[in-house]
Amino acid sequence: MGAIDLPKSPNVFHPEKPSAVGSRNSLAQEYRDQQTEVNQLLEEETNKVLHHLTSKLPKDALERLDVMGGVKEKLYNYFNQNYQNMFNRYMVTSEDEMVKKIRNFIDKEETKVLARYTPKEIADLLDAVGGADKFNTGEIEKSIVNMYGHLQGHVQRGINELETHTNSILRQKTDTGAFVRGENAYSIVKCAFKDNLYKPKTVTDVKLSVNILDSELISPIFHYQVTVEYLIKDLLSKHLVDTIDQVIEQIKDARIDQGKEELSDSEIIFNKLGQIPNFTDDDPKNPKSKRYNHVAKILMDKIQGLRAEIDPETFDQMNMRENIKKIVDIENIRTRGFNTAINSITSILDTSKMGYQYIENLKNAREVMIREYEDTDAAHLPDERYQIKLRYFDNAQLAEDRKAYDTQLRSFENEIHHLWDVLEVIYQEAKSPFKVNDFQDLAKKKKNSIKKRIKDKTGDPIYEDIAKVWDEISFVNVGETEVEKSNRTYLYEKDRVRARIITMRNKMKKMYDYLYPIERRVMEDRLSFLEREYYRFEYMINPYHLQPGILLDVDITSIKRKKATLDAMGNVLNEFLHGVSKGFQDAAFASFSRRRSTVREDITQSFGSDTETDLAVPAKPSSSSSYLDMINTDSVDSIPDRAPRAIAAPKRSSSPARARAPAKPAPKAKAKPAAKSKSRAPAKPAAKPNRGAAGSRGRSRSQGSRLREV
């Protein structure tokens, strides 16, 4: 390169000189013939297309193609023109991008040079005014982080919608899986799909109830009426648990430093239980008790019975009680959990395009009601709508709800039984005493005959004297244990009520047929009312299935073919659960390892000869195994010297024609019968030597001759 005379000025223009302005040659090509390379490329692509055409088209079609000129010249010109266009665009783009990069690089370097001449007084002045905490890019960085966070949220929401639509297409139907994903499925209390009352063919109603327990909440929720003493004790309990966790971590680190095994899950729990007496005790009257290490007993006595509000007549800003309450109120310990949940659900609805026209926040009751439309009349509402009820329960509220649920169910049973009795009396009075109307009449008519002809001879009691346990409506209920008494499911009672409603409706149709007297109309109206109200009651949540925590009750009405509200609400619920709940994790599954089903030594077994497995203990080989080895040996030299003497050469030679025939190797499929000879006598395979190549043992003539040589 040093001997080449290159132009020194960048203003040299020449179409052929390397690296000149407007040149088609470059020093990077090292004087390669560019035109030859382009011609070779175009020739190759043209020949490929021509070969494909000549192999696929018939001869007469090829002749018609060449009428207006050669196909090869047309293809060549087409490739050449497109190649030039693409290359020119590529060069223009490369030049533009390179110019931009060089310009930006020059600007940066100029900025660096100019920064050197910044007066020192200006830098000192900025440092004196605010320092690094004022004149920095922290706020800009926070804004960028927020923008990227919102962008990531929108992208994630779009991915969730795509996943939901894909799953619904694959399922070909809408089910519970469209709402809550697998990691949150345990929180579902009830999910029911049913046809809309006004438009059963096109619209569906969905009820979904999700229960988030107190222990799973990221930010704990307290009732407004809870005492300040309870809040402080809850904080102390959390501090106690955190301190015990730190002690356990120190114990685990010490064991690792000593080279011992790590603590198991059970040992960690036992160690935590053993650490409790070191931090607290059950002596609330002793001022020196361990429970008062962080908060003195005098302070706990002052706030005893103090709630969210203080009587204005006894309020004094300088009292210890008022100041303790003020500190607790400033930290928002009482309200921050429920407010966080409300902010989460409302912001998710806004960002998910699920706006609402009605919201009622009962702050002191820890309950919020959100409806898409203010109107509650289902007849005037659109077919796509939703309603959300968020409520916090504690044990006392659940106990009262369970009492009300028990009373309501018993009331339904009483009303249904009363209507049953009225219908039964009307039915008995309407029966004719002179004919058989049902099975009871027939059994009553034949009662004496059955007693006289059957029961008196066998000595068995008659049917009327036997206690009737089965009422022919539902099967006999199983006896209740303490578990059933504490957790009433009422499945048996609900089935009985439902069966009685169906039975009474069928009985009225049978009684009156096409007649509609006043008695039938009154009973049908009463039965329809009870049935409608009962199904409303059954649609509600059984409080025996709830636990203290948040209850999210969602009622959705959506068009079956559109399902817009269903799909959008599924994303809202999953995002809400992710932001409020810590989720459920099973430590047993995390530490569990399968031993018997997946870790087995016999899985890696392989086939091998006896000599490979018994190298340590040499044993005398059997005659059958030696016979098989000798049969499968290709040369005489590889036959072992320890071949058994029981395998002798055949005494009678074969015919000359067969002897002159070329030796054919035994087929592999014929070797299977030889493998079975392991369990037989060793001399039995040599009993028939004249089988030749077609023998049942799969031995060829050449192998027989080698055996004779042995």
Output the DSSP codes for 235-289. Answer: HHHHHHHHHHHHHHHHHHHHHHHTTPPPPPHHHHHHHHHHHGGGT--S-TT-TTS
Query: What pLDDT, on the 0 to 100 scale, is given for residue 408?
Result: 92
* Residue of 340, 350, 399 lying closest to 153 (CA atoms): 350
In a domain, 573, yes or no: yes
Residues 518 and 413 in one domain: yes
Query: What pLDDT, on the 0 to 100 scale, is given for residue 353?
Result: 82
Residues 77 and 178 in one domain: no
In a domain, 362, yes or no: yes
In a domain, 1, yes or no: no
Low-confidence ranges of the chain (pLDDT < 70): 1-13, 18-32, 34, 65-69, 88, 92, 95, 110-141, 157, 161, 164-165, 167-179, 181-182, 585-710
Residue 393, helix vs strand vs coil: strand
Task: Please give the full DSSP string across 528-590, using - where no structure is assigned.
Answer: HHHHHHHHHHHHSPPGGG--SEEEEEEEEEEETTT-HHHHHHHHHHHHHHHHHB-----HHHH
Residues 79 and 110 in one domain: yes
Residues 482 and 451 in one domain: yes
Domain containing residue 155: 139-212+354-394+548-598
Cα 20 from Cα 18, distance rounded (Å): 6
In a domain, 341, yes or no: no
> Could you tell me where the beta strands, DSSP code E, fall in 540-667?
549-559
Confirm if 650 and 686 have CB atoms less than 8 A apart: yes
In a domain, 435, yes or no: yes
Cα 514 from Cα 693, distance rounded (Å): 94
Residues 162 and 197 in one domain: yes
How many domains, in total, are found in the chain? 5
Residues 572 and 692 in one domain: no
Residues 441 and 475 in one domain: yes
Confirm if 288 and 298 have CB atoms less than 8 A apart: no
Q: Alpha carbon of 493 to those of 313, 412, 526: distances in Å?
A: 54, 10, 20
Residues 442 and 503 in one domain: yes
The token pair at 546 is 């709830």
In a domain, 221, yes or no: no
Task: Please give the full DSSP string across 201-215, using - where no structure is assigned.
Answer: TTEEEEEEEEEEEGG
Cα 458 from Cα 439, distance rounded (Å): 24
pLDDT tens digits for 630-688?
545 544 444 444 444 444 444 444 444 444 444 444 444 444 444 343 444 444 444 44
In a domain, 220, yes or no: no
pLDDT tens digits for 346-405?
988 888 888 888 999 998 889 999 999 988 888 888 888 999 999 998 888 899 999 999
In a 10 Å sphere around its CB, with 0-12 CB exposed, 13-18 middle and 19+ buried, how is residue 263 labelled? middle
Query: What pLDDT, on the 0 to 100 scale, is given for residue 368?
Result: 93
Residues 478 and 422 in one domain: yes
Cα 462 from Cα 165, distance rounded (Å): 66
Residues 104 and 47 in one domain: yes
Maximum separation of any 2 CA atoms in the chain, in Å: 139
CA angle in degrees (0–180, nearest 5) for 100-105-111: 125
**Domain edge (last residue) among 496, 512, 542:** 542
Q: What strand order describes the sheet that includes 203-213?
A: 188-195, 203-213, 549-559, 385-393, 367-371, 358-362
Cα 597 from Cα 586, distance rounded (Å): 21
Residue 662, helix vs strand vs coil: coil
* Residue of 546, 571, 488 lying closest to 210 (CA atoms): 546
In a domain, 577, yes or no: yes
* Residue of 308, 354, 361 lying closest to 339 (CA atoms): 361
Confirm if 205 and 195 have CB atoms less than 8 A apart: yes
Residues 438 and 561 in one domain: no
Query: What pLDDT, on the 0 to 100 scale, is given for residue 639?
Result: 42
Residues 40 and 84 in one domain: yes
Query: What pLDDT, on the 0 to 100 scale, is given for residue 645?
Result: 47
